[in-house]
Amino acid sequence: MILCDKIFADFNFSEQCRKYHISLWRCPSFLFLVMGILTMVSMIGTHILAIRYDNPFIAVLSVSLVAIIIFTIGNIIIHAVESVNSASHMKTEFISIASHQLRAPLASILWSLNILEKKGGNASIRKKYIELLQENNQRMIKLVNTLLDVSRIEQGILDFHPMVVNLEKIVRRTIKELAPLAIASNIKINFTVLNNIPNLFVDENKIQIVIQNLINNAIKYTKGKGAVKITLRNYEDKIIFSVTDNGIGIPEYQQKKVFSKFFRSDNVMKHQTEGSGLGLYISKAIVEANSGKIYFESIQGEETTFWVELPKTQQRAGRL
């Protein structure tokens, strides 16, 4: 029975590849089985053809055809194995990076508790360190929620609750929430609305996350006195939201990776070490799940602009 179970487990391809989110037709073990069956069938077929037709050319042709098919499947298998390895490596890397990012607030909490143990009798020290504990606790909660979002995105199960929303209101609300950060960073925010912005049918909370990420980044990565220009525009069949900053920019050689998980450009790390590197990855997933597009242009040391396009089609379908 144990042997049967093992054999069954070995042939349970969908289970094997599901954990890495790889479809059956890109699953190496399934493709090996297909190749094996194809090889046996083609050998039998070639034998039958050779007996039936007294023309060696037909046998050669059928063997060549089979060889091409096997070669193609072999190539697909190699790529599939690379995908599985890459997915496995990414999973390990994700866990390693996530654990590391959680350690910073955990160490802060540990040492704050140490100080409270030693000096908690002093009221002002107690107050200060309790604030620090709350701050770091919130930081950990935020990070864990971000990591959970990333996990849900990868599994394709991130919840969306679309409703009729006014994008202009969301942008204004986000700007108001980030105003203290902008003031502290000596950044002026200019917001312009071009044309009348109709309501959209999107997930309000998720879209706010995107808007917040982009404006937050624009403020964070502008050093010294600067300006962030935000525009909302009604254009043809879409609404376009854009954020421009005159900050540190993204080096050209790293621009391809901007929407990757945990990506933080080299010049960002030179200025600011805090940050999960997950904001743009999550933003892209959210925008695309709302049938939109997100893209950017950046010149290192000068300027960066991010655009988000959201279609008006749902609105046109009369969902108001």
- Residues in 237-266 at the binding interface with other proteins, rule: CB under 8 A: none
Q: How many Cβ atoms from other residues are within 10 Å of residue 18's Cβ?
A: 14
Q: Could you tell me the smallest distance in angstroms from the CB atom of residue 272 to other proteins?
A: 6
Contact 259, 298 (CB under 8 A): no
Q: Determine the 3-state secondary structure of 11 from DSSP.
A: coil
Instruction: Look at the block and give the residue holding tokens 């290192």.
Output: 300
Q: Could you tell me the smallest distance in angstroms from the CB atom of residue 112 to other proteins?
A: 6
CA–CA separation, 226 and 248 (whole Å): 11
Is residue 165 a contact residue for other proteins (CB under 8 A)? Answer: no
Binder among 136, 244, 283, 314 for other proteins (CB under 8 A): 136
Is residue 119 a contact residue for other proteins (CB under 8 A)? Answer: yes
Q: Which stretch binds other proteins (CB under 8 A): 79-87, 269-277, 296-304, 307-315?
A: 269-277
Is residue 225 a contact residue for other proteins (CB under 8 A)? Answer: no
Is residue 104 a contact residue for other proteins (CB under 8 A)? Answer: yes
Is residue 100 a contact residue for other proteins (CB under 8 A)? Answer: yes
Is residue 130 a contact residue for other proteins (CB under 8 A)? Answer: no
Is residue 106 a contact residue for other proteins (CB under 8 A)? Answer: yes
Is residue 111 a contact residue for other proteins (CB under 8 A)? Answer: yes
CA–CA separation, 70 and 68 (whole Å): 5
User: 187: part of which helix (H) or strand (E)?
Assistant: strand 187-194
Instruction: Look at the block and give the residue holding tokens 């009369």.
Output: 318
Q: Could you tell me the smallest distance in angstroms from the CB atom of residue 141 to other proteins?
A: 16
Is residue 128 a contact residue for other proteins (CB under 8 A)? Answer: yes
Is residue 271 a contact residue for other proteins (CB under 8 A)? Answer: yes
Contact 251, 267 (CB under 8 A): yes
CA–CA separation, 106 and 144 (whole Å): 12
Is residue 114 a contact residue for other proteins (CB under 8 A)? Answer: yes
CA distances from 82 to 16, 28, 75, 85, 177 (A): 15, 9, 11, 5, 44
- The footprint of other proteins on this chain (CB under 8 A) covers a number of residues equal to 25
φ, ψ (nearest 5 deg) of residue 305: -125, 130
φ, ψ (nearest 5 deg) of residue 229: -110, 120
Q: Rule CB under 8 A: which residues touch other proteins?
A: 100, 103-104, 106-108, 110-112, 114-115, 118-119, 125, 128-129, 132, 135-136, 269-274
